[in-house]
Every structure is written in C-alpha cells, then in structure tokens.
Amino acid sequence: GQNIDQPTEMTATEGAIVQINCTYQTSGFNGLFWYQQHAGEAPTFLSYNVLDGLEEKGRFSSFLSRSKGYSYLLLKELQMKDSASYLCALQGGDYKLSFGAGTTVTVRA
Amino acid sequence: IAGITQAPTSQILAAGRRMTLRCTQDMRHNAMYWYRQDLGLGLRLIHYSNTAGTTGKGEVPDGYSVSRANTDDFPLTLASAVPSQTSVYFCASSDSQGGADTQYFGPGTRLTVL
C-alpha cells in the first residue's frame, strides 16, 4: 500500500498561514496531487507536483521531496472560504490515484 | 459545458435491492473512475475504465460492477445492496493522454442502504 498520512484536523485564524503535511511510503510514483473538498461537494484539483520543489499558485503552494517521502500544501492569507478538507493523493505508475484520508482545515475569524 | 454529472443526488435503498448509479461526462475524456468516500478512510477506487469497452478493478470492487459502452457514460451497479455500501460515491474522469492526467470529479451520490 501507499501508507499516505495526513493530520486529521487543523485550525487557523483568518489571514494566517497553514501548512498541511503529507507523508507516504512507496517505492515509486508518477506525481503527487492536492485536492480541495468543501463539505458536501466534489473534490477539486489544486496542484500537481512531479519534480522535487515548490509549485506556487497564488495563495496556495505545494512542495514535494521524493527522497524524504514528504509533501506539504501551504495556504497563505487564509480566508473563511478556505475552510475545507484537503486531500493528498499519489499517482501510481498506472496513473491511478491513492488518496490520504484528508485534512479538515477550519478557519476562524 | 456541464463536465461530469451524476444521478441520483441521493438515494435511500433497502438491503438486497439492485441499484445503478449513473455518471456522464461531456469532456470526451478517455478514462473514468468510481470512488467511494467514507469518513476517516478517504476516497477509495472501486472500478475504472481506461477507454470505452474496457474496465478494471480498483481497491474495493466487491459487490459492484461497471460497464463502459461509450466514452461518455460509466454506470456503477450494486447487484444486491448491503448496509456496508452506505457511502458517498464519486465518479471522475481524466484525459489520460499522459502528463498530469488530472482527474475531475462529479458532484457525488449519497447512498444509504438500510
């Protein structure tokens, strides 16, 4: 299995920064995805990392270190609408995705 | 363009009944997927189809079947529903032309089996 681990819950204040970590144990994979899922809605694509390093998209950034088996999603300038679950997923060699259980982020005023 | 649609939005079903969840995409994506999402377990792949006419088993295929008669439609059938199949079911599709092969998800079907 992929053994993908994420914290279950995180709470942060509006305007702050939150870092969601994702660790995994696998012998190889194509890339790593992050999805956002608001309660009762479908997951929506946020980012994809295939190479080590940081990918920045506005307020959201994602980082991958293959040698350390580690990724993180960084959310800056938090807004109330960022309250959601964030799903880490590994893309295997067959292009299938294996998901972590997700991290629920609550943004407080 | 609707993207991916799923029907029904929600359903309550008696155990032992047969049920088909519908999924249609209008993006001409080659690959389609069915997942179930349960609290604390995340999304788990049930079945997939890399292209019309082919299907494959995912992580949790038992009790489910699929067909892919054309590019757009990918129905999921529960032949005889059991309470453990109570879940939220998501259909997804991807272009499957290499590169990121990002999966895009439908709105989901919430199924309760009593």
pLDDT tens readout for residues A68-93: 999 999 999 999 999 999 999 999 88
Proportion of chain B above pLDDT 70, given as a percent? 96
| Chain B, window 14-53: residues with a beta carbon less than 8 angstroms from a chain A beta carbon | 31, 40-45, 48
Q: Is A97 an interface residue toward B (CB < 8 Å)?
A: yes
Q: Model confidence over B6-16: pLDDT tens digits? A: 999 999 999 99
Give the minimum alpha-carbon distance from A97 to chain B in angstroms, rounded to a whole number.
8
Q: Which residue of A has its CA nearest to B89?
A: A42
The predicted pLDDT at position B41 comes to 87
Encode pLDDT of A3-13 as tens digits.
Answer: 899 999 999 99
Q: Residue A2: its pLDDT value, please?
A: 65
CB under 8 Å, gap of 24 or more: what pairs does B6-12 form?
B6/B89, B6/B90, B6/B91, B6/B106, B6/B107, B6/B108, B6/B109, B7/B109, B8/B109, B9/B107, B9/B108, B9/B109, B9/B110, B10/B109, B10/B110, B10/B111, B10/B112, B11/B109, B11/B110, B11/B111, B11/B112, B12/B112, B12/B114
> Residue B9's pLDDT is what?
98
Q: Residue B1 has what pLDDT?
A: 56
pLDDT of residue A3: 87
Are B102 and A48 in contact by the 8 Å Cβ rule? The answer is yes
Please tell me the distance in Å from B94's CA to the nearest CA on chain A: 10
